[in-house]
Amino acid sequence: MDDDGLRREAKRRVEARNGFYWYLVVCIVVWGILTFVWWMDGGGYFWPAWAMLGMGIALIFVAANAFLPGAGAVTEDRIEREYLKMKRKAEGR
C-alpha cells in the first residue's frame, strides 16, 4: 500500500474510533437517564434492560468496526471480488 493509501486507512481508523467513543458516551448517558426514570417510577421490572441490550449490541458492532483489523476497510481486492460476483450474477451464472 502506498503512502496515500496508508494515510486514508489511518484516517478511517481514527474516525471509526472517535465514532465508537462518542457512541459509548451516548450509551452511558441514555442508560443513566433510563435507569433514573425507572428508579423514579418506583423500580420493579427493570425495563431499561431492553434498550440497554439493543444499544449494547450496536456498540459491539461499532467497536468491531473501530478496532478489528481490516473491518470496514475498502480495498481494491474486496472491490474486485464484489465486482466479479455482481458480473457473474448479471450474466446469469
All three cell numbers of 30, joined, read 441514555
**Can you say whether the dihedral through the CA atoms of 86, 87, 92, 93 is positive or negative?**
negative
Q: What is the pLDDT of residue 93?
A: 66
pLDDT tens for the chain, 93 residues long, are: 577 777 887 888 889 899 999 999 999 999 999 999 999 999 999 999 999 999 999 999 999 988 887 766 677 777 778 888 888 888 886
Provide the pLDDT for residue 36: 97
pTM of this structure: 0.72
Pick the closest to residue 8 from 59, 76, 68, 58 (CA basis): 76
What pLDDT was estimated at residue 18?
A: 94
Contacts for 12 with CB less than 8 Å, ≥ 6 apart: 72, 73
- Helical spans, DSSP H, in the chain: 3-40, 48-67, 76-90
